[in-house]
A and B are shown apart, each in its own frame.
Chain A
Amino acid sequence: MIQAQKKGVPQPPSKIKGYLTAILVLLLLWGSSVNTESSLSEFIIGFPNMLDLLTQMIPPNWSYFDKITGAMLETIRMAVIGTTFGAIISIPVALFSASNIVQNSWIFYPARFILNLIRTVPDLLLASIFVAIFGLGALPGILALTVFSIGLIAKLTYESIESIDPGPLEAMISVGANKIQLIVFGIIPQIQAHFISYVLYTFEINVRAAAVLGLVGAGGIGLFYNKTLGFLEYDKASSIIVYTLVVVLIIDYISTKLREKLL
């Protein structure tokens, strides 16, 4: 009787795998903390320094807002232009990466590989390389944002191209449409709302990115972080932070509302 009951209860799965994973994760964490010389005591010792910094940051220097408005507008301009160029270039790139448009795997795999490659390089690194080439200013920032936007928009777009309804395309092929007609009348109407939504999303990200690109000399409001923090003017630095936060939140709000309307 008891044995029969025992048979009915399945054995719980072995827990060795879970334990091994836990040990592995703990080892990873331990190794990392040794490698980065992180210690809680150091943080606690340094904490008063940070509180001191925070008290120096509050209240922000409100009169500084006039001075940085120009740089803030430049930041938004950089994001607008970078996103636009990125969006324009990513249209052909996305078309070449979509396997249901270009059936030749010798074309769409390399295109996707290049996209993956672009996305592995962070935008700030791109910016510092472009600064080395073109010198200080907004141009390297715009170029960095453009390249970054291509990686993001083209990837999202080619994925949504691949998931479109093939019905209209088949109907058009059967009446003899060529590739251009296929794209203009079959694919664009199906993905344009998604595409615009991705562009807006990338714009949101680019505004945030553009705000720090100045740290490596690529224009925008980030230049002022270097200036104010270098001279230990923390009240001015905090006014930059507050300004950036307000602008980013407003742009995010508008962009999210627009995207909700689109889809």
Chain B
Amino acid sequence: MNTATRKIPRRKKNRIGLWSVYLVLALIYIWAFAGMGVPEIKPTAGQISKAIFNGLFHPDWSFVSEPGGEDLLHGLLDTLAIAVLGTFISALLCIPFSFWAARNMSKGHTLSGTGKFSLSFIRTFPELVMAIMFIKAVGPGSFAGVLALGLHSIGMLGKLFSEEIENMDLGPAEALLATGANRFQILWFAVLPQVIPGFLSYTLYRFEINVRSATILGVIGAGGIGTPLIFALTSRNWNRVGIILLGIIVMVTLIDLISGYLRKKII
């Protein structure tokens, strides 16, 4: 039993690197909290949150279906319609983008690089700002929401689609090329059959996201359930806020369940 055997080998750690990470983090937090100042909480905050909770547990059931048509079910249906159409438009429009951005379809690294960049540019453009711009073009209403979702979703769908294309098996395409197929035939018989399940699954996934987004488009006047919600919030009609929130939660959960089931079946 000499001392050498008892020595536990110490793991070499990059101490300086670790401490500099901590230092940077600390600086970021000092900067963040120092800039915020002490939050002022309104004295009515407790009262209002109580009222909201009260409204959540005593929702205004009469709002679910009203003869005038400005009710919850119509709002939710409108929201769904915006999401369906927006997703469909973006699923069609993003296909050329995805082939452009896929490394194995575009010629050269720079070309696919520009495709990828334009997709990330579209992704970072907030959909609400897009909706504001479309409202200027087609007027307030659901159609502006459809266009905003359709354009914004291209960013994410195009990226996912292009990754799907990059991950496909090139064997069938080569085999077709060897038998003398032209580019269109290769695309139709070798590429599409491989990527369509993935495309459908991503489209459904994006549909789930779009349903959520469509619920907030109404905040700026682009249709859907958001408009009555904002009215109810500003007029402090908490029971109505409660029923709308419940409606949104139920709808989103149902859509997630259905879409999840379909996605499992597709892949």
Contacts and interface: CB of A to CB of B under 8 A. Distances in A.
A173 interface: no
Contacts of B146: 36, 38
Contact of A135 (B42, B141, B241): B42
A128 interface: yes
Contacts of B45: 133-135
B32 interface: yes
B126 interface: yes
Nearest to B89: A38
B85 A29 contact: yes
Interface string B219-255: 1100100100110010010000100010011001100
B179 to A, nearest CB: 21
B219 A32 contact: no
Contact of A132 (B139, B236, B253): B236
A36 B32 contact: no
Contact of A43 (B40, B138, B145, B248): B138
B146 to A, nearest CB: 5
Contacts, number: 147
Interface residues of A, number: 54
A240 to B, nearest CB: 9
A66 interface: no
B216 to A, nearest CB: 4
Interface string B63-81: 0000000000000011011
Interface in A71-124: 73-74, 76-77, 80-81, 84, 116-117, 120-122, 124
A53 interface: yes
- Taking residues whose C-beta sits less than 8 angstroms from the other chain, chain B's interface range is 35 or more
Interface in B76-121: 77-78, 80-82, 84-85, 88, 120-121
Given A81-B32, A128-B230, A134 B136 contact: no
B48 A80 contact: no
A215 B230 CA distance: 12
Contacts of A28: 84
A192 interface: no
Contacts of A116: 253
Interface stretch (A2-10, A174-182, A241-249): A241-249
Contacts of B31: 77
A38 B32 contact: no
Contact of B133 (A50, A122, A132, A133): A50
B212 A120 contact: yes
A73 B212 contact: no
B236 A50 contact: no
Given A137-B39, A249-B124, A35 B78 contact: yes
Given A38-B142, A53-B137, A122 B124 contact: no
Interface in A44-86: 46-47, 49-50, 53, 73-74, 76-77, 80-81, 84
A172 interface: no
Given A49-B136, A120-B212, A128-B230, A134 B142 contact: no
Contact of B223 (A33, A36, A138): A36
A49 B256 CA distance: 37
Contact of A241 (B129, B139, B216): B129
A216 interface: yes
Contact of B126 (A46, A76, A244): A244
Contacts of A47: 137
B1 interface: no
A32 B124 contact: no
A28 B132 CA distance: 26
B253 A244 contact: no
A36 B125 contact: no
A22 interface: no
A80 B216 contact: no
Most buried by B among A35, A121, A215: A35
B41 A50 contact: no
Interface of B: 28-29, 31-33, 35-36, 39-42, 45, 48-49, 52, 77-78, 80-82, 84-85, 88, 120-121, 124-126, 128-129, 132-134, 136-139, 141-143, 145-147, 212-213, 215-216, 219-220, 223, 226, 229-230, 233, 236, 241, 245, 248-249, 252-253, 256
What 9 pairs between A and B have smallest CB-CB spacing?
Answer: A36-B142, A50-B137, A32-B81, A35-B81, A120-B252, A46-B137, A46-B138, A124-B216, A32-B84
19 contacts: A36-B145, A36-B146, A38-B142, A42-B138, A42-B143, A49-B136, A73-B35, A76-B32, A77-B31, A116-B253, A125-B215, A128-B219, A133-B49, A134-B42, A137-B39, A212-B126, A216-B230, A225-B129, A249-B124
